[in-house]
Chain A
Amino acid sequence: MAEENNEKIDSLDPRIMRASLDHSDIDPLESLDQFQTFEVFHQAKRGAQHQHVGIVHAPNPEMALLYAKEQYARRGVTANLWVVPSKYVFATSYFDDDMFDTTPEKIHRDPATYKVMDKIKEYKERQEA
């Protein structure tokens, strides 16, 4: 439990003097006192992708949007914000990231690896010869 110590705090700040604070402890914060977390996605302008920018703590989506505006849209341009409860994000594991290892090798998916112009040029040269 909190400990009482009524000795007043002396401050240069008139507002703090008016608040008449003392040295007493308070009861510790309990679990969830600061709420659950929401992941925040920020869209800079219409048509752009929303991008993950961080989290906010909030009791519900409406307040999460309010905090997201204060935290992630204080500067620059913003068109739109999304919030998603952290518990609804599902992800691959970095432990299994080798499943992506061979992707860059799949050059048959890469348009730049189809060299039709080379073939046409060579064909034309052969015709002329």
Chain B
Amino acid sequence: MYGNAYIDPNQTNKLTADEDPVKLAEFEARIQAGEKIEPADWMPKEYRKQLIRMIEQHAHSEIIGALPEGTWITRAPGFRRKLALMAKVQDEVGHAQLLYSAAETLGKSREDMINDLITGKSKYSNVFNYPALTWADSAVIAWLIDAGAIVNQLANSKGSYGPYCRALERICYEESFHLKYGHDNVVHLATGTKKQREMVQEALTRWWPPIMHFFGPSDKISVHSETLMKWKVKMASNDAMRQQFLDMYVPKIWDLGLTLPDPNLRKNPETKLWEYTEPDWEEFKRVINGDGPCNAERLAVRRMAEEKGRWVRRAILGENAEYVKPFA
């Protein structure tokens, strides 16, 4: 599961300044024709850089995203839910592995990516810096955060970079189980006792602002974004994906008699677009830059995993090991 990659809106330098114009034209024509770009193909430096940044952020998001839910495995209500949640968390970690592999084909090693994660240099999806206070929070995450991730990932799976698209196809297939599992949990609570309904309503109210942040700030005006869309690195604007998400899920939420903490949320019957209170983008920036309720904890857990596993990895590393980039 994942939100949209965060692009700094202040970074408006030209992306193709020193590229060979003939090669660039061939490259763009190939993408225009719907062909996939493979690891050994020529590509603009900025295409490579942006893809590494994006796929790497996505991989980190999967691995960090497993933490707020993983915390509920030991306290899951009932054996079947415990099994399902373990399967979901394992999927998320598996997705990170697939994505790290896709990013590796572009020339950044897994070690470098993990180092950048644990030192805070790389970002991951902002929603995972918030805590899952109750079991209902884990249900809301599994339903709605994964739903948002599917909107994003389905779009990106039609992108131009072969290894990323192939990883995303496998990921989307597995995310559809997460979505159904999450929906089942939310419906169970929403159709249950008064106490259960209160619990899921409170979780939904807590998670609505991070969910609205999920697709990132409005990016209509960025020149940067236009080139990335032409290269099929980015497949839809943040706002377009947010609209799609609202259109698919707000009616399902209201259908359960649950409410959302935004009095201005409605679908304009004339424009067919959702209207909402503008999310607090100052909070978004503050949290993504490290000052959220769980940033320190998430990275500390990650560091512990790397550090405590280190002696095991050293013990089993063969003497003649030799690294080559994954093939595709």
The smallest C-beta distance from B60 to any residue of chain A, in angstroms, reads 14
B318 touches A59 (CB 8 A): yes
A26 touches B118 (CB 8 A): yes
In the bound assembly, the distance between CA atoms of A4 and B167 in angstroms comes to 38
In the bound assembly, the distance between CA atoms of A97 and B38 in angstroms comes to 13
A70 touches B94 (CB 8 A): yes
In the bound assembly, the distance between CA atoms of A54 and B96 in angstroms comes to 13
A16 touches B306 (CB 8 A): no
Residue of A nearest to B72 (CB): A13
A29 touches B327 (CB 8 A): no
Point out the residues of chain A lying under 8 angstroms from B131, CB to CB.
Answer: 12
Point out the residues of chain B lying under 8 angstroms from A12, CB to CB.
Answer: 71, 131, 133
Point out the residues of chain A lying under 8 angstroms from B33, CB to CB.
Answer: none
The smallest C-beta distance from B205 to any residue of chain A, in angstroms, reads 18
B324 touches A16 (CB 8 A): no
Q: Is A80 on the interface with B (CB-CB < 8 A)?
A: no
B324 touches A37 (CB 8 A): yes
Q: Is B136 on the interface with A (CB-CB < 8 A)?
A: no
Q: Is B49 on the interface with A (CB-CB < 8 A)?
A: no
Specify which of A23, A74, A75, A87 is in contact with B300 (CB 8 Å cutoff). Answer: A23
B115 touches A28 (CB 8 A): yes
Q: Is B211 on the interface with A (CB-CB < 8 A)?
A: no
**Interface stretch of the complex, out of B106-114, B139-147, B213-221:** B106-114
B304 touches A19 (CB 8 A): yes
A59 touches B300 (CB 8 A): no
B323 touches A13 (CB 8 A): no
In the bound assembly, the distance between CA atoms of A95 and B91 in angstroms comes to 36
B327 touches A55 (CB 8 A): yes
Point out the residues of chain A lying under 8 angstroms from B41, CB to CB.
Answer: 94
B324 touches A15 (CB 8 A): no
In the bound assembly, the distance between CA atoms of A94 and B261 in angstroms comes to 53
The smallest C-beta distance from B319 to any residue of chain A, in angstroms, reads 10
A87 touches B322 (CB 8 A): yes
Specify which of A34, A37, A39, A93 is in contact with B40 (CB 8 Å cutoff). Answer: A93
Q: Is B316 on the interface with A (CB-CB < 8 A)?
A: yes
B318 touches A60 (CB 8 A): yes
Q: Is B268 on the interface with A (CB-CB < 8 A)?
A: no
B-side residues, CB < 8 A to A, are: 38, 40-41, 71, 74, 87, 90-91, 94, 97-98, 101, 104, 109-111, 114-115, 118-119, 131, 133, 166-167, 170, 174, 296-297, 300-301, 303-304, 306-307, 310, 313, 316-318, 321-328
A-side residues, CB < 8 A to B, are: 9-13, 15-16, 19, 21-26, 28-37, 39, 52-57, 59-60, 63, 70-71, 74-75, 86-87, 89, 91, 93-95
Sampled A-B contacts (17; CB under 8 Å): A11-B297, A26-B307, A29-B306, A31-B109, A35-B313, A35-B321, A36-B323, A37-B104, A55-B101, A59-B313, A70-B90, A70-B94, A71-B94, A74-B91, A86-B326, A87-B324, A95-B40
